[in-house]
Amino acid sequence: MGQWAIFRNPYSKVMRCTARAARAAVLAAVAGVAALAQVASATEARVLSPQDIEVVTRVLQFVTPETTNTATVAILFDPQRPGSQSQADTLAAAVPPRAPDSRISLQAKTMPVTALNLEGVSIALMTPGLTDHHQVISAAAAGRRVITVSGDKACAEAQHCVFSVSTVPYVNLWFSRAAARAAGLRFSPALLMLVKKV
């Protein structure tokens, strides 16, 4: 209160000038933050790397009850977004034939978000630019034991993805308990003690 009282002092030109300058600075800062947020939103969308995919496929071992011998990895893309399908194709090619350190075989397939069908899918990887579809994807995964994964931490924070992942410079797995619960997934307690819950 005291500081705002200074701004209202009609007798102090110096103070008025200071107040104007301060307001301008605050407005500039807000504008800057908004601009940064826009940029961040536009680039939200870190493409999952082969290392990210390897980490995610390792998580399959910690799903209870145990995943069956073959797991389907769906790579979701937006057909209306230029380049999205080719990104999905690239990711599909990066999915290894077998989950590391396990007997689980992996089958990759690309899937447009306009024709979502997550029945039988174990992992759904999201290509960049699907932020607007996160909620729909999350709803499609509900109860189907699908591990939804994004390279964007905000997806897990918004409880739309079970995991958000990054591996540079070090491995980070952000876990949404609410998204996992909605998807009907359970993980080993040891894994949940090692990931970051958001």
Site residues (CB under 8 A) for other proteins?
55, 58-59, 61, 64-66, 100-101, 167-172, 177, 188-194, 196-197
Q: Which is nearer to other proteins, 59 or 123 (CB)?
A: 59
Q: Give the C-alpha separation, 71 to 105, whole Å.
A: 6
Instruction: Answer for the pair 139, 98: CB distance below 8 angstroms, yes or no.
Output: no
Minimum Å distance from CB 55 to other proteins?
Answer: 6
From the CB of 134, what's the least distance to other proteins, in Å?
20
CA distances from 155 to 5, 12, 45, 118, 159 (A): 42, 50, 10, 18, 6
- β 63-64/105-112 pair status: unpaired
Comparison of 14 and 193: residue with beta carbon closer to other proteins: 193
- Is the CB of 2 or the CB of 97 nearer to other proteins? 97
Nearest distance, CB of residue 50 and other proteins, angstroms: 14
Cα distances (Å, whole numbers) of residue 16 to 4, 7, 20: 11, 6, 6
Question: Nearest distance from residue 133's CB to other proteins, in Å?
Answer: 26
Q: What is the closest distance, in whole angstroms, from the C-beta atom of residue 63 to other proteins in the complex?
A: 11
Q: Parallel, antiparallel, or unpaired: how do β-strands 172-175 and 163-166 relate?
A: antiparallel
How many helices (H) does the chain have, and how many strands (E)?
8, 9
Give the nearer residue to other proteins in terms of CB position, either 63 or 75.
63
Q: Which is nearer to other proteins, 8 or 196 (CB)?
A: 196
